[in-house]
Amino acid sequence: MRYLVTGGAGFIGSNFVRFLFNKYGSDAQVVNLDKLTYAGIRENLAEYEGQPNYRFLQGDIADPAAVEEAYRGVDGSGVDVVVNFAAETHVDRSLMEAGTFIQTDVHGVLVLLEEARKHAPSLRRFIQISTDEVYGSIDSGSFSETDPLNPRNPYSASKAGGDRMAYAYAQTYGLPVIVTRASNNFGPWQYPEKLIPLFVTNAMDDQSLPLYGDGRNVRDWLYVEDHCAAVDFLIEHGTNSETYNIGGGNELENREITHKILELTGKPESLIKPVGDRQGHDRRYSLDTTKLEKMGFKNERDFDSALEKTVRWYKENEAWWRAIKERSAEYKAFYEKQYAGR
């Protein structure tokens, strides 16, 4: 199969490319189109550089020329499947500056879809990676795929725009689109601005863990390899024009996960630092995943072993996250000011 993976230098995208090569070997051809924003790290997939079935292209999904080139594939013969992971992804950053979120997460999706129209007869799938955040917050019960969207922050509103644009192109032009909405991923290669890698690496350095608000917001944690497996499953078994929730089945309050991280890193609870709350902080995300389960898909990893494996990865890959933390000084200053003041 010939894949165009966008955002493949980021966390989930790089895990997905690795998943494809591990599963399909040289039967998978992958073009990785990535702008290399602050979150994109080409070296995440260094082991595949120079292989005849892998091509890295630095470019913007909102740039029609870059996208046209990417659709040519590894060897100019085209692609069968597009998986769009490329996005601005961090909620706190969307509170700082929302314009780039609209440019990439909405307009970028439109450019990818327009190019898909030109390849419609041969394109097998266009997977738009959306998020559970598009449903908004839910105090009890779980969202199913038919529930209305109610995004509550600039990131999730932008993702909802891309999600519905992809659906609109399926309805209007008959493109083979599938939309997936996953819950909070964790695992290796996650940028250390998100809760789990930030807290693990801070704890390793005896730095405080800034827990927002009362620490009781709930997220449903999904191990990244299970997410990759679900996307691969849907490429094979999904139905065009359908939307699928992908959840971890591991709902935890932030303070619970913080305690687990402290246990795994062997650090004291005194590192927890309650700070002000995130503006518009969604209280709880929860997905009903019956649709995917009924098709026969099941997550492989249990949460505790996946978290332990993840913490081990950060312990064994200090050079990777230290280099990132060193060059994120500007964001760190913004973030600390933002939360100290509340």
Residue ranges that bind ligand NAD, judged by CB under 6 A: 6-7, 9-13, 34-37, 39-40, 60-62, 85-89, 104, 108, 129, 131, 159, 182, 184-185, 191
Q: Which one from 155, 244, 285, 335 is the annotated catalytic residue? A: 155
Residue 141's alpha-carbon distances to 64, 138, 284, 286, 288, in angstroms, are 42, 7, 10, 7, 8
30 binds, among ligand DAU, ligand NAD, none (CB under 5 to 8 A by kind): none
For the chain, the first-to-last Cα distance in angstroms comes to 51
Whether 4 contacts 176, CB under 8 Å? no
- Does residue 227 belong to the site contacting ligand DAU (CB under 6 A)? no
Whether 183 contacts 248, CB under 8 Å? yes
Q: Interaction with ligand DAU in 233-262: which residues (CB under 6 A)?
A: 254
- Does residue 131 belong to the site contacting ligand DAU (CB under 6 A)? yes
Q: How far is the CB of 14 from ligand NAD (least distance, A)?
A: 8
Whether 165 contacts 106, CB under 8 Å? yes
Q: How far is the CB of 164 from ligand NAD (least distance, A)?
A: 14
Closer Cβ to ligand NAD, 40 or 176, answer by number: 40
- Does residue 181 belong to the site contacting ligand DAU (CB under 6 A)? no
Q: How far is the CB of 206 from ligand NAD (least distance, A)?
A: 26
- Does residue 200 belong to the site contacting ligand DAU (CB under 6 A)? no
Rounded to the nearest 5°, which phi and psi values hold at 10?
-95, -170
Q: Interaction with ligand DAU in 259-298: which residues (CB under 6 A)?
A: 278, 285
Whether 177 contacts 170, CB under 8 Å? yes
Within 8 A by CB and 6+ apart from 298, the residues are none
Cβ atoms within 10 A of the Cβ of 178, count? Answer: 23
198 binds, among ligand NAD, ligand DAU, none (CB under 5 to 8 A by kind): ligand DAU
- Does residue 84 belong to the site contacting ligand DAU (CB under 6 A)? no
Residue 223 bears catalytic tag: no
Residue 63 bears catalytic tag: no
Residue linked to tokens 């009362």: 214
Measure the CA angle with vertex 154, ends 171 and 96; round to 5°: 150
Closer Cβ to ligand NAD, 48 or 267, answer by number: 48
- Does residue 90 belong to the site contacting ligand DAU (CB under 6 A)? yes
Number of residues in contact with ligand DAU under rule CB under 6 A: 19
Closer Cβ to ligand NAD, 128 or 202, answer by number: 128
- Does residue 202 belong to the site contacting ligand DAU (CB under 6 A)? no
Residue 133 bears catalytic tag: yes
Taking CB under 6 A as the binding criterion, the range among 16-24, 121-129, 205-213, 303-311 that sits at the site for ligand DAU is 205-213
> In this structure, what is the dihedral angle of CA atoms 115, 118, 122, 127, given to the nearest 10 degrees?
30
313-319: which pairs have CB atoms within 8 A and are 24 or more residues apart?
313/187, 313/188, 314/188, 314/197, 314/200, 314/201, 314/204, 315/204, 317/188, 318/204
Residues that bind ligand DAU (CB under 6 A): 89-91, 131-133, 183-184, 194-195, 198, 210-212, 217, 219, 254, 278, 285
Q: Which residues are catalytic?
A: 132-133, 155
